[in-house]
Amino acid sequence: MTASMVEVRVHGRGGQGVQVGCQILAGAFFRAGRQVQAFAAYGGERRGAPVTGFVRADDSPIRLRCDIERPRYALVLDPTMLDGGTLVADVPSGGTVVLNSAGTPAVTPPQGVRLIVVDATGIAGRAGLGPIVSTALLGAFAQATGLVSLEGLLAAVQEGSPARRGENLEACAAGYHAAAGATAAPASA
């Protein structure tokens, strides 16, 4: 792993847009001139099954071909998967977790990890996307990390959304703006 490499792990359930979300995020990094890699791991092909997606971006070609064990950034599309924080316990100090939750989450992030909470389910519902919360959370990720611009991300959503482009663009922008005032547990390491 190089010093310029960014690693993002996305947790969600089948039907929430984990895989497409990873491809869209990779597209935004690519538009910013970076080399990218995006893939997902899942078991049964059914809605509601746990899905984990991975995105790497770097300034140089990416030679790693493995899952991301200690991501600096994690997105959690379904807060019921947190298991009290076990799901994100491997995010190192200085990292960021972007969480979809309408209320106060029952999780304490690892010391030094910033927790950004956005109601992506509410945003997706208002945009007409139903359970597809990935684009709203990607917008929140862009705001929280500054790693990709909103403009670049919206262009990637426009290009990568398999359906409901207008609704996904709306949700992405709303997620971005919601994260500006989102609950954050400050890094304290």
Model confidence over 88-129: pLDDT tens digits?
999 999 999 999 999 888 888 899 999 999 999 999 999 999
pLDDT at 15 over 90: no
Mean pLDDT of 138-153: 97
Out of 42-46, 167-171, 184-188, which region has the weakest mean confidence (pLDDT)?
Answer: 184-188
Query: What is the band of 183 on the pLDDT scale with cuts at 50, 70, 90?
Result: low
The CA-based dihedral angle spanning residues 129, 162, 140, 78, taken in that order and rounded to the nearest 10 degrees:
60
Mean pLDDT of 139-158: 97
Distance CA 124, CA 17 (A): 11
Q: How confident is the model at residue 186, as a pLDDT?
A: 44
Query: What is the band of 51 on the pLDDT scale with cuts at 50, 70, 90?
Result: very high
Q: How confident is the model at residue 72, as a pLDDT?
A: 97
CB 4, CB 58: distance < 8 Å: yes
Distance CA 26, CA 129 (A): 21
Q: How confident is the model at residue 185, as a pLDDT?
A: 53
Q: How confident is the model at residue 44, as a pLDDT?
A: 66
Residue percentage of the chain with pLDDT more than 90: 78
* Mean pLDDT over each residue of the chain, to the nearest integer: 92
pLDDT at 24 over 50: yes
Distance CA 155, CA 31 (A): 9
H/E run at residue 82: none
